[in-house]
Amino acid sequence: MREQRSPPAGAHGGHAPPRHVGVIMDGNGRWAATRGLPRIEGHRRGLEALRRTVRAAGDLGIEHLTVYSFSSENWRRPAQEVADLMGLLKRFIRNDLADLHRNGVRVRVIGSRDDLSSDIRTLLVEAEELTRANTNMTLHVAFNYGSRQEIAVAARRLAEDVVAGRIDPAEIDEKALEARLYTAGAPDPDLIIRTSGEERLSNFLLWQAAYSEFVFLPVHWPDFDASALAEALSIYMNRQRRFGGLGPAATAGNAMTGS
């Protein structure tokens, strides 16, 4: 997924806008609970927040937006809630695909397709095929996604390539593994936002987030909007990114380990 090995623009100064933003859309259930509404209502409003966010990200020139919409662990939820989330994915693709395409958004769906119904699998392929050549922004929808599973699958693909003689084990490096992740070809996320006040990655982009900045906002996802996105970007742009090197503070002789 990584395109750069040396610090990109914005390293040391931290003022370049992010090319790639990942979002953990959390707090739908709590949003609904505080209003005495069923959880599905929180997810429905969450879908509206997702639409707003895609538009706002496009307006801000973000090239890649990755949204965590169903984790491989979400199957543990009650069957009705799982069915509701599947229904919302279908609704999103059916209702919004034409609009996304008109706005030059490429849609990629990352995650395992194995457990998805055949109508959903067909819709996902249709969305990816229709928007394949779009270049304004790429929306990566993480659905039935789990980062450990993604890395394990990449390792399996490498093993298969070794057995088939396509790659020598001595050639296996970070790039070889990255090329086999669901996110192959996209830059690493510069910024990962999580809403609802929780502060963890929950199996989201573990490999890709090695040097991401994290911004945790107290707002529940259904209330997320363009101004919340702008706030997260402003926090990000005031951060100093060092990518393991030394920041300007080193010149003053007080740098720590550079991380």
Q: Which residues bind ligand FPP (CB under 6 A)?
A: 25-30, 43, 46-47, 50, 69-70, 74, 85, 88-89, 92, 141, 196, 221
Candidates 141, 138, 140; CA nearest to 61 is: 138
Nearer Cβ to ligand FPP, position 10 or 111?
A: 111
Quote the least distance from Cβ 4 to ligand FPP, whole Å.
29
- How many beta carbons lie within 10 A of that of residue 239, not counting itself? 16
Q: How far is the CB of 101 from ligand FPP (least distance, A)?
A: 16
Nearer to ligand FPP (CB atom), residue 28 or residue 208: 28
Residue 26 or 188: which CB sits closer to ligand FPP?
26
Tokens 């084990």 belong to 169
Compute the least distance from the CB of residue 185 to ligand FPP, in Å.
21
As a whole number of angstroms, the longest Cα–Cα distance in the chain is: 60
Q: Closest distance between ligand FPP and the C-beta of residue 103, in Å?
A: 17
- Closer residue to ligand FPP, CB minimum distance, 17 or 38: 38
- By beta carbon distance, the residue nearest ligand FPP is 29
Structural tokens at position 232: 């997260």
Short-list 1, 163, 147, 172, CA closest to 71: 147
190 is catalytic: no
The backbone torsions φ and ψ at residue 194, rounded to the nearest 5 degrees and listed phi first, read: -125, 130
Partnered with residue 145 across adjacent β-strands are: 71
Per the annotation, the verdict on 173 as an active-site residue is: no
The Cβ of residue 7 has, within 10 Å, a number of other Cβ atoms equal to 14
Q: Which of 28, 59, 74, 168 is catalytic?
A: 74
Calpha distance 219→150 (Å, rounded): 29
Which amino acids are annotated catalytic?
A: 26, 74
